[in-house]
Amino acid sequence: MEIKIIHEEKDFIAVEKPAGVLVHKTRTRALDGNRTEEKTLVNLILEKYPEVKSVGDFKGKETNELERYGIVHRLDRETSGVIIIARTQKFFDILKKQFQNHEIKKEYMALVKGKLKGNGIINKPIGLRSGTTKHSVNARNMKMVKDAITEYEVIEAFPDETLIRVIPKTGRTHQIRVHFASIGHPVIGDKLYGQRKGTSGLSRQFLHAAAIEFIKADGKRTRIESELPVELSLFLDGLRKVR
């Protein structure tokens, strides 16, 4: 697998993460029950940009302990789109501070179930359900509850779906997916928070990180965009034909 480089500078690279690829290293169980390791976005980046291995937040002296080299933000496995990877420690720290100060602007394209009208804001705290790995806006039986705000605007309407631009104002885990599921409009193809069987005919969820804005080391604000993947564009074309 090759990762598309959208933009490259001495301080960072912007890459196009495909759906189905993990950002960070993780361990999963194979069918025989043994633990196996899969190739991640970080693995693929290190093959071309080995200097990234010395960049990031590390525990102690072992720089391979976290294996999130150059990564400040991430995307879910089944979400595609643009990710920024720092090539120097200086810019990693600059980017991390911008995320902490909410100076980063991220835009997503999502197709959700049902009809949404106009623009809107979802302001609901998100927490982790006790004893599970699933996030929720249901206040009962939750831990680590955090405020979460998501803005959206309607781009195109279909009989049973709505294409929207989403701007998360906070960066909680699964925030977009959880928020839209909580108002009865789950992301199409989302098997965790949406309909698990017969979701859409898509092999992935319809959620794409379309743009990110941040301040470079020279103080200039920049915007980097990522085009909608072919499989999502074709899916929309199919909806338009039967509309």
Which residues have a catalytic role annotated?
Answer: 76
Closest CA to 143 of 155, 162, 126: 126
- Four-point Cα dihedral 65, 69, 70, 72, nearest 10: -60
Kindly provide the residue ranges of all beta strands, DSSP E only, lying in the chain, ordered along the sequence. 4-8, 12-17, 27-29, 35-37, 80-86, 105-113, 119-123, 126-129, 135-136, 142-146, 149-157, 161-168, 207-215, 221-225
* DSSP-assigned states of every residue in 186-201: PBTT-TTTS-SSS--S
**Structure token digits, residue 132:** 């599970």
- Are residues 80 and 23 in contact, defined by beta-carbon separation less than 8 angstroms? no
